[in-house]
Structure 1
Amino acid sequence: MAIGGSGERAEKEHRPSPIDVHVGSRIRLRRTLLGMSQERLGEALGLTFQQIQKYERGVNRVGASRLFDLSRVLDVPISFFFDDMPGTVGGSQGFARRVAGFAEAQDGFQDDTLQRRETLELVRAYYRISDPAVRKRVFDLIKAMTPPE
């Protein structure tokens, strides 16, 4: 067994890639917005809920065919999993320029609003309102109750 360097390499291999973490967080976001459990998503894909957990944490990398299956089950385009990715994560200058506005808005500011359970439950409840007129009135009410920006 060789000593020196191999331990560092093994440790680095087990550290999730920022891209895998981002894709996993988008899987979790969409699953939660749909009110779907990890178990139910796993069943739809022929996986265990533990495998779904690993995808959502970015521990396991999502392959192309699995990403395709996830997009079908979660009813989103494949690009959804890469939306809102900070430019520093992708590494591509062209990609970084396309998301520069997002990256600048996030610079030095950690806003976890979209990751909060309360936000996800509120959005889910809002979209369960079947009458568009009622939904618009609820939206207008919430806007009226918030302080101006």
Structure 2
Amino acid sequence: MDTELRYRECRDLLAATTVGRCALSTPQGPVIVPVNHTVVDDALILRTSPYSQLGTYGWSARIAYEVDSYDEATRSGWSVIAVGTCERVEDLAEARFLRTFHDPDPWATGARTLYLRLRWDELTGRRIGVTRTDVRSVG
């Protein structure tokens, strides 16, 4: 079974998670980095170091962000991908608001003082899995 998710399902799954992977281009080539996030309206808020790969090359660039979940026992899961242009949150009042009410709370150590916003223009997702009958018959 492979089902395309509706926009609202994709957004709800993004909002229900806190960790994903950001794919971006750097002068050395493409990279994928794990990042914490929050969802505010129709955008992802990311917090990183200004000197990280994401902080250096991600803002003002088109990036992709993926969240997913899977269960090996049932061979099922889902994946959501948001694609859009990333921008710095430069307004101090807005950054203060995000820090107070929507802070991504990075797991990584060190100063994570740069807030980025990914306003997606593409939000897609898929749910995959097999029926219980199929699970028993595999192997």
User: Which TM-score tier does this pair reach, normalised by the shorter chain?
Assistant: under 0.3
State the TM-score, normalizing by the size of structure 2: 0.22
User: Which protein has the larger Cα radius of gyration, Structure 1 or Structure 2?
Assistant: 1
Higher relative contact order at CA 8 Å, sep ≥6: structure 1 or structure 2?
Answer: 2
The structure in which a higher percent of residues are helix is: 1
State the TM-score, normalizing by the size of structure 1: 0.21
The structure in which a higher percent of residues are strand is: 2
